[in-house]
Amino acid sequence: MTSNTATLNSHVLCTVSEQGIATLTLNRPEKHNAFDDHIIAQLITHLQSLATQSHLRALIITGTGKSFSAGADLAWMQRMADYDKAQNLADANQLAQLMVLLDSFPKPTLALVNGAAFGGAVGLMACCDSVICQDQASFCLSEVRIGLIPAVISPFVLNKVGPSLSRHLMTSAAVFNATQATSYGLVHQVVSLEQLQQAKLDWIKQTLGNSPEAVAQIKTLLAQFNTASPLAKENLASTQESTTEAIASIRVSTNGQAGLKAFLDKTAAPWRT
What does the alpha-carbon distance between residue 118 and residue 129 come to, in Å, rounded to a whole number? 19
Q: Residue 5: what pLDDT? A: 56
Task: Check residue 223 and give its pLDDT.
Answer: 87
pLDDT of 82 reads 87
- 259/273 Cα distance (integer angstroms): 12
Residue 218 has pLDDT above 50, yes or no: yes
pLDDT of residue 105: 97
Mean pLDDT of the chain: 93
Q: What is the mean pLDDT of residues 90-98?
A: 95
pLDDT at residue 3 above 60? no
- In the chain the domains, ranked by start, together with CATH numbers, are 2-272 (3.90.226.10)
Q: Average the pLDDT over 190-204 and give the result.
A: 98
Average the pLDDT over 99-106 and give the result: 96
What's the whole-number mean pLDDT along residues 126-135? 98
Instruction: Tell whether the model's pLDDT for residue 68 goes beyond 90.
Output: yes
Contact 44, 32 (CB under 8 A): no
At 2, the pLDDT band (50, 70, 90 cuts) reads: very low
Q: How many CA atoms lie within 13 A of 107 on its CB side?
A: 24
Percent pLDDT > 90 in the chain is 80
pTM of structure: 0.92
Nearest to 200 by CA among 156, 134, 253: 134
Q: What integer pLDDT is reported at residue 1 of this predicted model?
A: 39
Q: Are 19 and 7 in contact (CB under 8 A)?
A: no
Q: How many Cβ atoms are within 10 Å of 183's Cβ, its own excluded?
A: 12
When pLDDT is cut at 50, 70 and 90, the band that residue 176 belongs to is very high
Strand partners, 226: none
Q: Around Cβ 208, how many Cβ atoms within 10 Å?
A: 13
Query: How far is the C-alpha of 82 from the C-alpha of 264, rounded, in Å?
Result: 12
For residues 127 and 102, give the distance between their C-alpha atoms in angstroms, rounded to a whole number.
Answer: 6
32: left (phi over 0), alpha (psi -120 to 50) or beta: left
